[in-house]
Structure 1
Amino acid sequence: MLGLPRGTVFLSEWTKEWAETFIIEKNKIESVFPDENIRVHHIGSTSVEGLKAKPILDIGMEINNFEDIKEYIQGLERIGYKNMGSSILPERYYFIKGEPRTHQIHLFEKGNSFLEEQITFRDILRKNNSIKERYELLKIKLVEAHAEDKHKYAEMKTGFIHDVLEKYEY
């Protein structure tokens, strides 16, 4: 089940429903932009089988450039996403869906290094159970310490993620 109430952080056991829901959502997004050259990725912990995660579906979406951003904003709004703008997170537009929040889209220009890092980290977790287990233990500790502060929770994971990415030289 998806949905994270505002102001809280908790983890749920991974479920196959997350992968299935991503496919459904990807198809919706692609149907809104049928003639566009876009790529839609399942990112974040819900994309890693067996990994506990905040119950929010993270989607990375790539477009050629931001010149036609109004078209993409309007299209995503038609399928229920709220545009949160481009000032919340670096080099991307951010969209949310659901109350409580169930989906979030990080919309990037193609070749963005932040998205490439997210995809690489996801792929490392999918292939390496030892790293996945260490990451999950860290997340559990951080939820216990920062259950009311999603920003602190996310910030405290950054060092681990960068260490893994450096070690695996993507």
Structure 2
Amino acid sequence: MRKVVVAAYSDDWKKKFDEEARELQKIFGIEILMIHHIGSTSVNGLSAKPIIDMMPVVRDITKIDTYNEAMIAIGYEPRGENGLPGRRYFQKGGDQRTHHVHMYEIGNGEIDRHIAFRDYLRMHANAAKEYADLKEALAKQFPYDIESYINGKEHLASEIEREALRWFREFSYSSIKGVEIC
């Protein structure tokens, strides 16, 4: 049984992302257009479960399954779509997870959703603190119940996501129009 652990932010998380991104780039080569560090470990100062979430954006999602053996060779478990159509999901580390890889084809709307959530928390310290405080409290309340932990943060995460997407669209639209937003 996995224990729900929420740890204080670590500078090592960026280094672990960078190292793993290089490994994924070696495997997938030109199929990967970019790799984003997403999730709580990508937000400086935010407490998180110490699992690095990565989002490679690929040219053609239908080709990704042909790389499953190479991913297994570096410790990943291929999980297919894992409940989200258009995604390919891999996890590394078994019960002691270290990385989650969420792959999407360029143009998939999930890409903006993940980036909006990350960037909103990076730019809005109050929302990030509220989210971190809730995750820490839930981890203490449900140390061996990942489902209750996830369900407990769902409402706040959805609120932040809605606000983040609104903010992201306004930011993107303003950027297109040449308005500088600081």
The 8 Å contact of residues 125 and 131 in structure 1, kept in 2 or not, is answered as yes
**SS of 1:15 mapped into structure 2:** coil
Partner of 1:116: 112
Distance change (3 Å), C-alpha of 1:69 and 1:127: same
Residues 1:60 and 2:52 aligned together: no
1:89 alignment partner in structure 2: 83
Change (3 A) 1:36 1:114: closer
Partner amino acid for 1:34? G
Provide structure 2 residue ranges, at least 5 long, that are not aligned to the other structure: 169-182
TM-score, normalized by length of structure 2? 0.80
Cα drift, residue 24 of structure 1: 0.9
Moved more, 128-137 or 107-116: 107-116
TM-superposed deviation, 1:164: 2.0
Instruction: Report the alpha carbon displacement of residue 37 of structure 1 after superposing the two structures with TM.
Output: 4.0
Q: TM-score under structure 1 normalisation? A: 0.86
User: In the TM superposition, what are the counterparts of 1:61-76 in structure 2 within 5 Å?
Assistant: 61-76=56-71
* Contact persistence 1:85–1:93 (CA under 8 A): yes
Aligned match of 1:77: 72
Structure 1: gaps of 5 or more residues: 1-5
* Equivalent residue, structure 1, for 2:141: 145
CA distance in 1, matches of 2:131, 2:15: 23
* Residue 111 of structure 1: how far off its partner (Å): 2.5
In structure 1, the partner of 2:18 is 23
- Pick one of 30, 36, 59 that aligns with 2:31: 36
- Note if contact 2:53-2:101 (Cα within 8 Å) is conserved in structure 1: yes
Pairwise CA distance, 1:118: 1.7
Question: What is the match of residue 161 of structure 1?
Answer: 157
Report the Cα distance in structure 2 between the residues aligned to 1:54 and 1:111, rounded to whole angstroms: 28
CA distance in 1: counterparts of 2:83 and 2:55, whole angstroms: 13
Question: Is the 8 Å Cα contact of residues 33 and 75 (structure 1) preserved in structure 2?
Answer: no
Inter-CA distance 155–114: structure 2 relative to 1 (3 Å threshold): farther
Indicate if the aligned counterparts of 2:77 and 2:91 stay in contact, CA closer than 8 A.
yes
Which structure would you say has the larger Rg? 2
% identical equivalent positions: 32
Query: Which structure shows the bigger proportion of residues in helix conformation?
Result: 2
CA contact (8 A) 1:83 1:94 kept: yes
